[in-house]
Amino acid sequence: MLSAPHVLEYDYRRSLGPVLSHFFSALREGQIHGVKTKSGRVLVPPAEYDPETGESTTDEFVAVGPGGVVESWAWVGTPRKNHPIAHPFAFALIKLDGADTALLHAVDTRDESLMASGMRVTPRWAATPEGGITDLCCFVPEDQGVQTVEAPDEVSEPTQSIVTPVNVEYVYSPGKAATRYLQGLKQGKFLGQASDSSGLVYIPPRGACPRDGVPTSREVEVSGKGTVVTLTIVRVPSANITVDLPYCTANILLDGADISFTGLLQECPLEDVRIGMRVEAVWVDSSEWDYSSENIKYFRPIDEPDLPFSEIKEYC
């Protein structure tokens, strides 16, 4: 059975709203601000609502810190590539002076024996602030000296959004059915499986019929030709897309299959793409074939009559 390391990685951009926009804009100026609840508590980082009552917080922001006290901590002896510090450090809950809640951040002591609950710490600021949480590089023991931050000469526009990098690394095993499918792709074939009860052919196979759960033990090779049953014209850019915009992605019912197969459609003006159009798979050079759907470069139109809608309507 096949298995392979996978990495899910992308940058996630989110809008902030007025409360967090104020918080990140203050960080860019070298300040840490909390927000007051209706009961007078100061939340850091600020939130739109009081976590104890669910009520909306006020519009009153309060400068806190910069120093604070470590309430609890956990040592990171082997940092990973996306951690804020490359050498061993601690993650800690830090209650800043003037705040009623603790802020989770990194503390850089380099030595675990120097970490303790109750110790006082102070911020280390980024040399080039950008209006994100990374403007606050980490905290260090207060006896190392308090870093002063000069106010900018010009008032910048408020920070309206931030980009958060997302990274998940894992080992994926596709299972027996999908392993056979991937082995087929490496040989330039489309291998599906048929349901033992209904005879329906699924590609890519999942090992069981989704209608009744009966195993799909019979292997079926289906054609590289098929019919467009649904389509989408993509005009919005996104990460890791190498195709020029706009482009068409279509659900294609391969001949001999009973479920559509998603693929990129090329070599055809977008205005000519239509439901019922006949297409075929275009493969990369056989020297590049691997256990991957990337073996299929794209689909392209072929000189065959369109299938009538009545023959494919249940797949549309």
Locate the domains of the chain by residue range: 4-168, 175-315
Helix (H, G, I), strand (E, B) or coil at 116: coil
User: What span, in angstroms and rounded, lies between the C-alpha atoms of 92 and 86?
Assistant: 16
pTM: predicted TM-score of the whole model, two decimal places: 0.66
Q: Quick count: other Cβ atoms within 10 Å of Cβ 93?
A: 17
Residue pLDDT, tens place only, 191-213: 999 998 889 999 999 999 988 89
For residue 24, which of 131, 105, 155, 124 has the smallest C-alpha distance? 131
User: What span, in angstroms and rounded, lies between the C-alpha atoms of 119 and 316?
Assistant: 64
Helix (H, G, I), strand (E, B) or coil at 118: coil
At 186, give phi and psi (nearest 5°).
Answer: -65, -20
Strand duo 42-43 + 120-125: pairing: unpaired
Residue pLDDT, tens place only, 107-153: 999 999 999 999 999 999 998 888 999 999 999 999 887 777 666 66
Q: Are 192 and 181 in contact (CB under 8 A)?
A: yes
